[in-house]
Structure 1
Amino acid sequence: MSDEAASVSASAAARTDGDGDGHDGGRIHDVAVVGAGSVGLLLACLLARRGLDVVVLERRPTPPPPTASSRAIGIHPPGLRALDVAGIGDEVRRRAVEIRDGRVTCEGRTLGAMRFPNAGLVRSLPQREVEAMLEDRLATAPSVRMRRGVEVSTIRDRGTHVVVRGTSAGESVGVAARYAVGADGVRSGIRSLMGADWHRRGGRASYVMCDTVDDTDARQSALLHFEPAGVVESFPMPGGRRRWVAWVRRPPTELDATAMATIVATRTGAAFSTDGAGAPTAFEAAQHLARPIAAGRVALVGDAAHEISPIGGQGMNLGWIDAVHLDRELARALAAGAPIDVFEAYDRSRRAAALRATRQAAFNMRMGAPASGLRLRTRNAAVRVLALPGLRGVLARAFTMQWL
């Protein structure tokens, strides 16, 4: 443990609060994390390795099973580095499928291809499995307490600490901490409680998604079909499965595996077996950015701070990188007894990163929208140019989020 972490841990051991808030027996934690999704759990793991006193408050009474449906599967190199710090990177590598290359086609013709170097591989593993690993890691951390079934309703900044209140099984719950973090997703209650605005960013589209048995000959390839009727993407998954995602003007009234297979076959000519296919889902990709991301002793992280289109696989990884930055800021603040504007640099840097991510995601959505005539020819020509040797490295760097 570093000298900084040791001093923080030692100073945290006997903290109590006498202001009469009636919370947690008068105890003041170092950090209260609201939300036990992949980003909140990662942040708690990072803080735990410093020996910090952390309480995690989660609305759901039980964690979803690792086999539950999961939208996010792509783990990019910066995200994997964050998981390494948390101590689960090697297990992720063991379970995940490596995506070693990507191919872009249109109407049966290859527009471009790229191969990722070993250091820049994207890995595919459902978010639920990563969350289960992080929660197992936290279970061995003596300085972290997980409290499930807590619905947060208020948060008050007392100047020296914050008090988070809510209910659990009909009983009032109060928790005090030096700092609080909202990791409670796109519909963040903490964001609303801190009075942050939710600004709409460019890029919006509808998609349908289905996981099937992978019967392609591309078990380590991302396949992008930029078809005139809209993009169809597919990515390998563990267990010999493949995820298919398709742009739609509006989701079919009756969405099942057969409807999804029809969309894919009609546009690409490729067929997949519906035997063993999961239940398809429809979703709308939208983009928002909170302003501010932090205020006083409260900060937002992950989807609570920014909603990024999942097209391109940036949202989960961007949240993990937020957690790495926030972990450092919190450790410094707690070690130094910093003033309440400690999150100013965090707000500025993560806002800039989120803006870059929304711009890239909006570009991805535009490229995957339906096109015909001159627009189709122009788009295909642009893909061919981006796939040239001189630009291929830049494209691969953007695709694997190395710029974050």
Structure 2
Amino acid sequence: MHDVVIAGAGPVGCFLACELRLAGLSVLVLEQADNPSSPLKRLPFGLRGLSAPTLEAFYRRGLLSEIEAPQRAKDSSGNSAPNAAHWMQQARRPGGHFAGIQFFHDNIDTSTWQYRLPTPAGTSTAVEMEYLESVLAARAIALGAETRRGLGVDGFDQSEESVTVRAGDEVFRGRWLVGCDGGRSTVRKVGGFEFVGTDPEFTGYSVQVEMADPDQLKAGRQYTPTGMYTYQKPGTIAMVDFDGGAFHRTELITLEHVQAVLRSVSNTDVTVTALQLATTWTDRAYHATTYRKGRVLLAGDAAHIHSPLGGQGLNLGLGDAMNLAWKLAATLRGDAPAGLLDSYTNERHPVGVQVLDWSRAQVALMRPSRSSRALEAIIRDLIDTRDGATYFAERVWGTALRYDLGGSHPLVGRSAPDFELIDGTKLGPLLLNGGGVLLDFDSRPSLRALANRWSDRIAYVGSDVKERLGLSAVLVRPDGFVAWVGEASPDHDEAALAASRWFGEPASRESA
């Protein structure tokens, strides 16, 4: 029997496997696809923007350098990658977009983010989906996760002690099952999870084509009276047809159909001579009402689906994995405090709600109507202001993310600043092993004694730091989020309560 069976070997499933193996759990990953490679993932629209919480998670687990290697290679060459999206090849450096309306780095006021310190993680970067999957899959295997391809989960039964999983002709048992098996998740359906939301307004297309007259299309993103398209030479096109999602997964995608939709959306008579790659998608936005039922949990697209506009779905799923893994590990070890695993839904579900609404808002701006074009003009004016660009950056980059942990200090519930110790060590690498950290800037014997009561789960680090941010101590959870802060005179009782809340009963009962 495995501790955890994971359905799905995409980025979310593989990252979850890495985190669970870091905690010493036995992990089996079941994946329906025989081969993870796909030409569609290498399209320019296969590039995904990684946000600050995702980059910080990779940094804290020693994955950042490898994931950013292709981008660093491109930067050192001084040339844009040949498959870089059009918005990445501009003279003025864009920070991202909202429904195609860009905000720029030179307009963002980062001084308002008082609890962010310089970090190698940065705030955003683009990565090729297939490359990211390969890095995470290789790390999971190196850490000892077992992966079986060509075996998708067909069904399961759960008891109070375990889950019996059926995949093909084989049967597996795990103490827990996590569905990371995408938007059409079998785990979600068999598990009877309620899935609610809004139906699609359009069918989206991502295609690679050859055209007889490509100059008829304008480069970049273009809104038209009949839809929207984004064109990058020589023949990469994304377009949306407001048909209520009627075409998605209902018929074969033919050259003739793509040409007809492209002509309709672009209002040109462009001729498609060859269809090389094509896929469809929609803006359907649905959300599981809970991420846990008994011994079955959901993460990533299995828990929430929405349009790929803005590329936030990947970050949302990776955030699920980072939040869930240490809580599930503590539950399996038997040292989890009451309600710890339920806090996974409590913390991540509201984040999902925000992202789905962010996606819906972009769809509203894209509708082929005069009211949407009028709204677009207003958003363009707002996003070009310093306050506007800063707001959109906070949302797109994830720097505004804060879990409601009940603390009064504004840093509690936020990603921990990357404090630099006097010897040059940074906080990020101190989280490499997946445990908690109590960072005490004044090296108090009383806080050391408190941390020692949880010495198997919390590492005590007594050292001053180069920038205190008005604090004297910080308790950081395994996922890198702040559980407690001490100011001039730390409240030891509050620190002990926070430690008990997130790390369970102490191994030692000695008084702090």
TM-score by shorter chain over 0.5? yes
Residue 317 of structure 2, aligned match among 316, 319, 323: 319
Q: Name the aligned partner's letter for residue 53 of structure 1.
A: S
Among 133, 136, 143, which residue is 2:135 paired with?
133
- Counterpart CA distance in 2 for 1:401 and 1:158 is 38
* Partner secondary structure for residue 346 of structure 2: helix
Query: What's 1:122 paired with?
Result: 125
Spell out, residue by residue over 1:133-173, the C-alpha distance to the aligned partner (whole angstroms, 9 max, x if none): 2222222223x11122334344333323x2222143xx332
Aligned-partner Cα distance in 1 for 2:234–2:32: 31
Q: Which residue of 2 aligns with 1:178?
A: 175
Q: Residues 204-243 of structure 1: matches in 2 within 5 Å?
A: 204-211=201-208, 223-233=220-230
Match of 1:92 among 56, 67, 73: 67
Q: Distance in 2 between matches of 1:280 and 1:292?
A: 34
- The reply on whether 1:370 has 2:365 as its aligned counterpart is no
Extract unaligned runs of 5+ from structure 1. 1-27, 214-221
1-structure distance, mates of 2:359, 2:384:
18
Equivalent residue letter for 1:145: E
SS at match of 1:358: helix
Cα distance between partner residues in 2 of 1:33 and 1:284:
26
Candidates 284, 287, 295, aligned match of 1:286? 284
TM-score (norm 2): 0.60
Kindly indicate whether the alpha-carbon contact (under 8 Å) linking 2:240 and 2:265 is maintained by their aligned counterparts in 1.
no
Q: Tell me how far 1:403 sits from its aligned partner.
A: 3.5
Aligned to 1:335: 333
RMSD: 3.7
Task: Note if 1:388 corresponds to 2:385.
Answer: yes
CA 1:398–1:53 in structure 2 vs 1: closer, same or farther (change >3 Å)?
same
> Residues 44-123 of structure 1: matches in 2 within 5 Å?
44-60=17-33, 62-65=34-37, 67-69=39-41, 72-77=46-51, 78-96=53-71, 99=88, 100-101=93-94, 113-115=103-105, 119-123=122-126
Which residue of structure 2 aligns with residue 30 of structure 1? 3
Residues 55 and 123, structure 2, Cα contact 8 Å, conserved in 1: no
Question: Shift of residue 326 of structure 1?
Answer: 0.6
Structure with greater strand share of residues: 1
Q: 1:50 to 1:263 in 2, by over 3 A?
A: farther
Which whole-Å deviations, capped at 9, do the CAs of 1:287-328 have from their partners, x for residues lacking one?
A: 111122102222100011111211111111110110000112
* Partner in structure 2 of residue 297 of structure 1: 295
Distance 1:33 1:330, change over 3 A: same
Residues 385-394 or 374-383, more deviating: 374-383
Q: Percent identity?
A: 24
Q: How far did residue 243 of structure 1 move?
A: 5.2
8 Å contact from structure 2 (residues 153, 165) kept in 1: yes
Contact 2:196 2:286 in 1 (8 A): yes
Tell me the SS of whatever aligns to 2:310.
coil
1:199: how far off? Answer: 0.6
Aligned partner of residue 165 in structure 1, secondary structure: strand
Higher RCO (C-alpha 8 Å, min separation 6): 1
Instruction: Report the CA distance shift for 1:86/1:164 in structure 2 as closer, same or farther (over 3 A).
Output: farther
For 2:63, the aligned partner's letter is I
Indicate if the aligned counterparts of 1:76 and 1:401 stay in contact, CA closer than 8 A: no
State the aligned residue count. Answer: 352
Work out the CA distance in 2 between the residues paired with 1:263 and 1:91: 43
Amino acid at match of 1:173: V
- The corresponding residue for 2:242 is 249
Q: CA deviation at 1:69?
A: 4.1
Larger CA Rg, structure 1 vs 2: 2
Query: 1:124–1:263: structure 2 CA closer, same or farther, 3 Å change rule?
Result: farther
Residues 113 and 157 (structure 1 numbering): CA distance in 2 closer, same or farther, change over 3 Å? closer
Offset at residue 181 of structure 1 (A): 0.7
- State the one-letter code of the partner of 2:134: A
Instruction: Please give the secondary structure, in 2, of the residue aligned with 1:314.
Output: helix
Given the superposition, is the C-alpha separation of residues 202 and 120 from structure 1 closer, same or farther in structure 2, using an over 3 Å criterion? farther
Query: What is the deviation of 1:335?
Result: 2.9
How high is the TM-score relative to the length of structure 1?
Answer: 0.74
**8 Å CA contact retained: 1:80, 1:89:** yes
Q: Distance in 1 between matches of 2:337 and 2:122?
A: 39
Inter-partner Cα distance in structure 2 for 1:195 and 1:111:
39
**In 2: Cα distance, 1:262 partner to 1:146 partner:** 44
Residues 36-63 of structure 1 deviation map (CA, whole Å, 9 limit, x = unaligned): 1121011101222232211112223x22
Q: Distance in 1 between matches of 2:324 and 2:184?
A: 20
Aligned residue for 1:159?
160
* Counterpart residue identity of residue 115, structure 1: H
Tell me the distance in 2 between the aligned counterparts of 1:263 and 1:102: 31
Partner residue in 1 for 2:196: 199
* Mean CA deviation greater in 114-123 or 177-186: 114-123
SS in 2 for 1:119: coil
Q: Unpaired runs of 5+ in structure 2?
A: 72-80, 109-120, 211-218, 248-252, 402-512
One-letter amino acid of the counterpart of residue 29, structure 1: H
Query: Could you tell me how far apart the structure 1 residues matched to 2:15 and 2:309 are?
Result: 22
Determine whether 1:400 maps to 2:397: yes
Q: Is the 8 Å Cα contact of residues 155 and 163 (structure 1) preserved in structure 2?
A: yes
